[in-house]
Structure 1
């Protein structure tokens, strides 16, 4: 697998870990409120994140000459 993908995954894990580490009460409240959202909205949100991540990856890869 491409080392760039592993670096990106590592960065995502670091950023995702900062929320519960620095603001556990806010993070817990946010996760609790997300359980009340309908599935359709969560799927749209997840799909938007996937598209945004793909676009960012494509832009960086083409800029770095990959």
Structure 2
């Protein structure tokens, strides 16, 4: 189980690093736009992201 956790964490870090590596200015603009978004919008995006993640995990496992 811990091996799966660390593998998932490593994959998350790789995926999170792709945009800043390929386009630092695009990553900066995206972060600035997220900072200007309302709390409600960020929560809805987070909820949608978690929902998609749960569905993907269900389909894979």
Short-chain TM bin? 0.7 to 0.9
RMSD between aligned alpha carbons?
1.3
What is the distance in 2 between the residues matched to 1:2 and 1:55?
Answer: 21
Name the structure with the higher helix share. Answer: 2
* Alignment: residue pair count: 61
Q: Where do 4+ consecutive residues of structure 1 move more than 6 Å?
A: none
What is the distance in 2 between the residues matched to 1:35 and 1:51?
Answer: 22
Q: Counterpart of 1:3?
A: 3
1:40-63 Cα shifts (integer Å, max 9, x gaps): 0100000100111011011101xx
Query: TM-score with structure 1 length normalisation?
Result: 0.81
Query: TM-score with structure 2 length normalisation?
Result: 0.86
User: Any residues of structure 2 matched to 1:1-66 within 5 Å, and which?
Assistant: 1-61=1-61
Unaligned runs of 5+ in 2: none
